[in-house]
Amino acid sequence: MPQTQIIKTQKFSWLNIINASSKEIGYLKKKFKFSQLDLSDAYAHKHAQRPKLNFQSNYIFLVLLFPVYNKKTREITPAEIDIFITKDHLVTLHYNQLTVLKSLFAICQKDKNERDIYFSENPAMLLYELLERLYISLYPMTDHISIDINNIEKNIFAGHEREMVKEILVVKRNIVYFRKIMQFHRSILHKFIKMQLSMFGKQEEKIDTFYNDLNDHVHSIWDILENYQQTIDALEDTNSALVTFKLNDIMRTLTIFSVIVFPLTLMAGIFSMNAVYMPLVGTSFDFWKIVGIMLAATIVMFFYFKHKKWI
C-alpha cells in the first residue's frame, strides 16, 4: 500500500514515499513541477534497470540501486531508491526494502535532537547521511560473502568437493549481482558532485568533501568484491580439478579391476566349453587346479600393476 511521510523543519523538508502510486506521482508533479519522465521512473510499477542521474534547472533526480540479501533464497537482489533533491526538499521514493532508510527517517521523526543535527544545513547533506549509512550497511554483506568463501575453502580440502559445487555457484551468483548493482555508483556520485554546484554553490567545497568520502566507500566495496571474485574463481578451479582427479582415480580403479578380472572371465569361459578334449578337465582335483590357475593369474596381474605403480 502507498504511504507518504513527511518531516518539515525551518531549513527544509524530507518527503518519504513508499510504494508510490499514480496519486503520489500526480501530487509530486503538481507540487514540485518534476518532469514526467523522471516521475515515470519513480512510479512503483516501473522498476529501474540501472542507476541514473538527471539534472534539471530546479532539481536533481537520482535512481540508485542497493543490494539486499534474502536469507530464505540466499540471493542478493536490487532495492531501488528514487531521489529528488531541490534547495528546500529531499524527496525519496522506495519500496520499503531498505532498513537503513526506514531507520534514519524514524530517528529524525521521533528524536528532535537528531533531527536538528541532520536538518541543520541543506538537503544535500541529509542525502549524504542517508547514502553513507546505506554504504556502511553493505560491509556486513561483504563479510557474509567472505565467511561463505572461507567455509567453501575448508570443505573443499576436507574432501567435500561435490557438495561445494552448488555452494560455489551460489556465492559466484551473489558476487556477480553485487558487482552489477554497484558498478554505476562511482560515476553517479562523481557527476552529482559536479551538478550540485549550481544548486548549493556556497557550500560546494563542504559537499564535495563529504561526497568524496562516499566515493571512498564505493571504491572500497568494489575492491573487496573484485578480490572475492578472484578468490571464488580460484576455488572453483581448484574444486573442479579435485573432482576431476577423483573421477579419474575412480575410472583408473575400475579399469584395473576389469583388466584383472578379464583373464578369469576368459578362463572360466574356456573351461566351460563342451569340447571333446579339454586339458585338466576330468583329472583328479580338476576344479581346484583350474581355480589355482585363475588365482595365480590374478596375483600376477596384481603385482604387475603394483610394479608399474598404477595401484
Q: Which helix (H) or strand (E) covers residue 85, if one does?
A: strand 75-85
How high is the pLDDT of residue 203?
57
How high is the pLDDT of residue 45?
60
Q: Which helix (H) or strand (E) covers residue 294, if one does?
A: helix 286-307
Query: What is the set of domains in the chain, with CATH numbers?
Result: 3-143+159-244 (3.30.460.20), 245-307 (1.20.58)
How high is the pLDDT of residue 76?
93
- From 214, 208, 182, 186, select the one nearest 195 (Cα to Cα): 208
For residue 224, give the C-alpha cell: 573487496
By the 8 A CB rule, do 96 and 105 touch?
Answer: no
Tell how far CA 250 is from the center of its chain.
34
* 53, β-bridge pairs: 62
- For the chain, give percent helix, strand, coil, nearest 5: 65, 15, 25
Q: Can you list the residues of the chain whose pLDDT is less than 50?
A: none
Give residue 304's identity as a one-letter amino acid code. Answer: Y
Q: Which residues contact 229 (CB under 8 A, 6 or more apart)?
A: 175, 176, 179
How high is the pLDDT of residue 44?
58
pLDDT, tens only, 74-87: 899 999 999 999 98
How high is the pLDDT of residue 93?
93
How high is the pLDDT of residue 47?
60
